Amino acid sequence: MLQFFRSRTTTAKDDVLSGVTVALALVPEAIAFAFVAGLSPIIGLYSAFFIGLVTALLGGRPGMISGATGAMAVVIVGLVAMHGVEYLFPTVMLCGIIQVFVGLLRLGKLIRLVPHPVMLGFVNGLAIVICLAQFGSFQTFDKVSGRLQLITGMPLIVMLTLVAITMAIIWLLPRVTKSVPPSLVAILTVTLISIGVNSQVSVDLGQGNFVATVGDMLKANTDAKTAAKQSNSQIDTLSGKLKQLPTPDDHRLTLVSFESVDAKSITDVGKTTAELKSRSAPKVDAVGVSASSSISGGLPQLFFLEYVVPPLTLSTLWIVLPFAVTLAGVGLIESLMTLTLIDEITETRGRGNRECIGQGAANVICGLFGGMGGCAMIGQSLINVNSGGRGRLSGVTAAVCLLLFILFLGPLIERIPMAALVGVMFMVVIGTFEWASLKMFHRMPRSDVGVMVLVAGYTVLMHDLATAVILGVIVSALVFAWKHAMHLGADVQINEHGSKIYQLHGPLFFASISSFKDLFEPSSDPDDVVIDFYYTRVYDQSALEAINALADKYEACGKRLHLTHLSHECRGLLDRAGDFVEVNLSEDPQYHVATDRLG
């Protein structure tokens, strides 16, 4: 799987160069996710720095990159819109605390329950989502409509050409030399080309450059948010004027109301309504969005020095707790799934419980310094692996470089063309998608194919990776239970003493108890019956109740029932059948459970 990224050794030089490459790719992602959450771009960049640095040092998967992610942003936007940005930072800190407790309770091992079809669907759906997300970079702000629109004509041709050049360099350079990351060489090469093109060609497309750059992307998103905020203000003004218009219930009020609204006001309302309809601008909350179109900033400060701290009361806790739990769950699922993917690529094993603790500590610190929180970033992690980054130094380098970009190199980073970053991400898509799964359709069980398609489809349609994984695990578990419910059977024989022996085969649990009951005929069986559990396993309370009920039936018929080779736990829990259990410790099987050593 993912052979494109495999078979690469690591050195300190590889980690450093790979970290620089990842830092360049982190900038537009962090900015975009900050806009999604309704926050200032600088908050997204600070978040990527803190999350990336702390998880690189404390996390359980060297080489994995973490930062501000879209999965967290879609949860945050509701909190910011409803309660304000000052409630965000305590929520992120509480999210981190929950994640730390999950790691301390060693629940990271639950990621082992994710079946391979779910993993395939997750990877393929993620590749499609990453691919579709890149088309947002082919947009520019249109001043007439007040919205982002796709570029056309020669700018589109030039951008596609630069994307192709980027992809060609990444594909061909490793055949010549592996001393430098191909993604970094591609970004630098295409950046030099775009600088030359922009210096020679002067075409006003509302972006300021013929070839769109990171700075143009930031400015376009800022302008779009500002236009949306102005549209919201106009909508509120229009609503206020319309509330002054008469109601049909009171004719005297109608006369007074119309007298208070002059003809010019009515005309203005009509013009405003027509203008808003023509724009079709969505009503979005631009809380916290800065009018600045630069990624430059100073050192991050503690959030309570810049924002009003919400009151530390139970009401505040009830506000932030649901969002914190959701953020913690989304972050851990996406991080542990990414950890599993990087494990498979690098053929090493990460530590899930330590990753939970590292992610939690990162979110606590991030929230303390006014960040939006985050988790593992699959796209950037794959860029890191592809560029040779395997150690913790690569993640530390990426985070430190990101901070340096903010403090000193903002104007230079803003000149990087979006085409270069899009080309890098397209190569990530090619390396991420499990192409072999397309050939496996006719060989895989239909249920597994259905689960894979379900997870991939939900990921693409809803852009919710965590829910897609949970849904896939639930469906896989139901399919597993249904299949194994059909596997319960018994070999029946009569021994030399006239006793009827039922030799059970298959698991006994809630889904198979109906089949279990159908195996026995208490009314027609002889006076002495033996049920041998040597080749079966009793899994849950439903199975225990079924055994108890069967014992009652035989007792009511005046017949004796022997239960042999039951586990120690079952013997202790069978209350009504306790007198019928034949204990034979020398023959009883010993069952073992998974430990936390590998967590």
- Looking at beta carbons, which pairs linking 265-271 to residues 24 or more positions away fall under 8 Å? 265/241, 269/238, 269/241, 269/242
* Two structure tokens written together for 320: 């932030």
Sequence ranges of the domains in the chain: 3-201+304-436, 486-580
- Tens digits of residue pLDDT in 102-157: 999 998 888 878 898 998 998 898 889 888 888 888 988 887 777 888 898 888 99
Q: What's the mean pLDDT when you consider all of the chain?
A: 82
What pLDDT does 289 receive?
Answer: 40
CATH class of 486-580: alpha beta
Residue 552 CA to residue 558 CA, distance in Å, equals: 10
pTM for this model (two decimals):
0.73
Is residue 572 left, alpha or beta, with left meaning phi > 0 and alpha meaning psi from -120 to 50? Answer: alpha
Residue 495 CB burial class (10 angstroms; 0-12, 13-18, ≥19):
exposed
> Quick one: pLDDT at residue 498?
87
Per-residue pLDDT averaged across 384-406, rounded?
Answer: 92
pLDDT tens, position by position, 460-488: 898 777 788 889 999 999 999 888 888 89
By mean pLDDT, which of 2-11, 401-410, 453-462 is the weakest?
2-11
Q: Comparing C-alpha atoms, which of 265, 263, 259, 264 is closest to residue 241?
A: 265
Residue range 191-201: mean pLDDT, rounded: 87
Residues 6+ apart with CB under 8 A from 152: none
pLDDT value, residue 202: 54
Helix (H) / strand (E) element for 232: namely: helix 214-243
pLDDT of residue 359: 96
Largest CA distance in the chain: 108
Residue 36 in this model has a pLDDT that exceeds 90? no
What's the mean pLDDT in 271-283? 41
Q: Is the dihedral of CA 506, 508, 510, 515 positive or negative?
A: positive
430: pLDDT strictly greater than 60: yes
The pLDDT value given to residue 178: 80
Q: Is the pLDDT of residue 276 over 70?
A: no
Residue 581 has pLDDT above 90, yes or no: no
